[in-house]
Structure 1
Amino acid sequence: MKNNSIIIGLMTLLCSIFTSCSKTDPQPDFANGELAPFSIEFDNIVGERTFAITNTGSLYTNAAGEKFSISKLQYFISNIKVTKANGNSYTVPQDQSYFLINGEDKSTRFTKIEVPEGDYTKVTFTLGVDSLRSTMDLSKRTGVLDPATGGGHDSGGMYWGWNSGYIFFKLEGTSPVISDDVKGDPTGKKQFKYHIGGFGGFSAPTINNIKTITIDLNAGGIAKVRKGRQSNVHLFVDIMKVFNGKNSFSIAANPNVMFSAFSVNVANNLPEMFRHDHTEN
């Protein structure tokens, strides 16, 4: 009986060893995968209206019944990732994954990158600039992230020199509902300004308005990325959601929002702007 137990134990051990040795470890899904062109298009709209930059007139009306026009729209898109149906994902190298969408320049609406060939059912990106990159040496913050070429806060750029941080989302315009005595508008043009930023602190936590957004592509068409052709995910970006999102607010009550507690309310509306319309393969 004892010998039988020993034999059974040895057989179990041998089976375990052979099973372990014969088991093939899964290879990374993207190993040896050729890179192919891919882009995400950020097509700005305002509700059901075409987006337009203008310094005069009141083109749009929000849920509060307030008319307004838009004179400036800019926002950072970064840290792009694509995901397959099996859950495997590929993150674009960070140095190649920072883009500034400018409403005045339609050519900036495409974030052109390369990812391994494959069929992707989701795209993920950050609205803003992550805390790690925001605190890197200036030599690591070039191109659209260069504070010098981007301009300081006063010159209309996307960097707060006084706060040493990026403005993630900037929307400016005019509205007749704004009071004549609003502070910060010496021009008398009844201007509103929404400059949303803040990545949180390290030793002393501060406002964190970074938003990570994932778009499911199944309904509008997955991205079939292949060499020799351009796959493009077309997103509509509805700027009206800034006012009409889950934290809806009126321009008259909040005409200027920058680095303040209320900026969190505005930032929480921003993910609602992005909607997948279709994919071009």
Structure 2
Amino acid sequence: MKSIYKFLAFTLLAVFTSCSSDDDATAGLMGENKVTLEFDNSVGSDDLLLATAGYTNSQNETLTITRLNYIVSNFSLTNDAGEVFTYDKEESYFVTSEETGSTEVVLEHIPAGTYVSVTFGIGVDQEKYLQGAEGQGDFLTIAEETNMMWSWQAGYKFLNYEGTFTSETVTEPTDFKVHMGSHGSSLDNYKEVTLSLGTDALVSDEMSPIIHIVADANDILDGENKLALTEQSVIMVSEEKSPKVALNTASMFTVDHVHNGTGDSH
């Protein structure tokens, strides 16, 4: 009988110690800090290498990619209690560019907490665009400098994806261009994405996590919607294909891992 009591006491102690350890990891999170999102572009299981590698899709087209730029915006983080922290909208527009190496988004002044998911937009929402050129702030200049504008009247390019391709019937390298954006209220291609982090992102005055997000460029044309460059190598303002590109692009993001590290508070 004593052995049973000893076993129960040991079990309760082990459970209590385990819970205490878990609580210690997240208890007492105070202050604020930055959260960094690293966008790691790939093609399937391979790293994306601009202009140096060929990638074959399910339609037997081989692509050499020379540009992959996209706009990410309107970030929010949800904590383990279901509370949502929405990042300042005026500061929430970024261009990630593989060709310039600008694939990092830094969100400043995030309140301490245990965050379990991140939400962001692909492109620029209508509310922001309808503020007019004067209401875009510095982001308008950034978009122009990174080839993410057609013109102010035509609007932003949410995605700028370019390169060359060959196929069974197109034997010489041929240019392709996939530019996707919204074109008036009748063709709104702005999409929102919510990603579970898998591992909690811990923020405090001493902890500044890095969230590594993989963007699979293969999904842009070879995702749920299959779009053959052999049939149409330039996709821009298309009532049929632009919405399909938008849906594919919104599905290309996954969280690979979260690094909870120490960092200076901001």
How many Å separate the matches in 1 of 2:64 and 2:258? 30
Within-5 A mapping of 1:25-40: 34-40=31-37
Q: Alpha-carbon deviation of 1:145?
A: 2.5
Match of 2:190 among 195, 205, 210: 210
Match of 1:167 among 153, 157, 169: 157
SS for the counterpart of 1:229 is: coil
> Is the 1:58–1:67 contact (alpha carbons within 8 Å) kept by the matching residues of 2?
no
Structure having the larger proportion of residues in strand: 2
How many Å separate the matches in 1 of 2:80 and 2:215? 25
> Is the 1:178–1:255 contact (alpha carbons within 8 Å) kept by the matching residues of 2?
no
Q: Which residue of 1 aligns with 2:14?
A: none
Larger Rg: 1
Change (3 A) 1:199 1:90: farther
The amino acid across from 2:42 in the alignment is: I
Q: Which residue of 1 aligns with 2:179?
A: 195
The amino acid across from 1:190 in the alignment is: T
Q: Which residue of 2 aligns with 1:274?
A: 253
How many Å separate the matches in 2 of 1:109 and 1:143? 18
> Is the 2:156–2:181 contact (alpha carbons within 8 Å) kept by the matching residues of 1?
yes
Q: Alpha-carbon deviation of 1:157?
A: 1.7
> Is the 2:183–2:237 contact (alpha carbons within 8 Å) kept by the matching residues of 1?
no
The amino acid across from 1:42 in the alignment is: F
CA RMSD of aligned residues (A): 2.1
SS for the counterpart of 1:64 is: coil
Q: Alpha-carbon deviation of 1:200?
A: 4.6
> Is the 1:37–1:227 contact (alpha carbons within 8 Å) kept by the matching residues of 2?
no
TM (norm. structure 1) is 0.76
How many Å separate the matches in 2 of 1:44 and 1:164? 27
Structure 2 residue 31 is matched with structure 1 residue 46: no
Q: Alpha-carbon deviation of 1:143?
A: 2.7
The amino acid across from 2:157 in the alignment is: I
TM (norm. structure 2) is 0.80
What stretches of structure 2 of length at least 5 have no aligned partner?
A: 1-29, 261-266
Q: Which residue of 2 aligns with 1:123?
A: 118
Match of 2:100 among 96, 105, 121: 105
Match of 1:227 among 187, 205, 208: 205
How many Å separate the matches in 2 of 1:162 and 1:179? 38
Match of 2:61 among 59, 66, 69: 66
> Is the 1:124–1:215 contact (alpha carbons within 8 Å) kept by the matching residues of 2?
yes
Change (3 A) 1:162 1:121: closer
The amino acid across from 1:60 in the alignment is: Y
Match of 1:263 among 242, 256, 259: 242
Q: Which residue of 1 aligns with 2:227?
A: 249
The amino acid across from 2:144 in the alignment is: G
Ranges of 4+ aligned residues in structure 1 off by more than 6 Å:
none
Q: Alpha-carbon deviation of 1:142?
A: 2.8
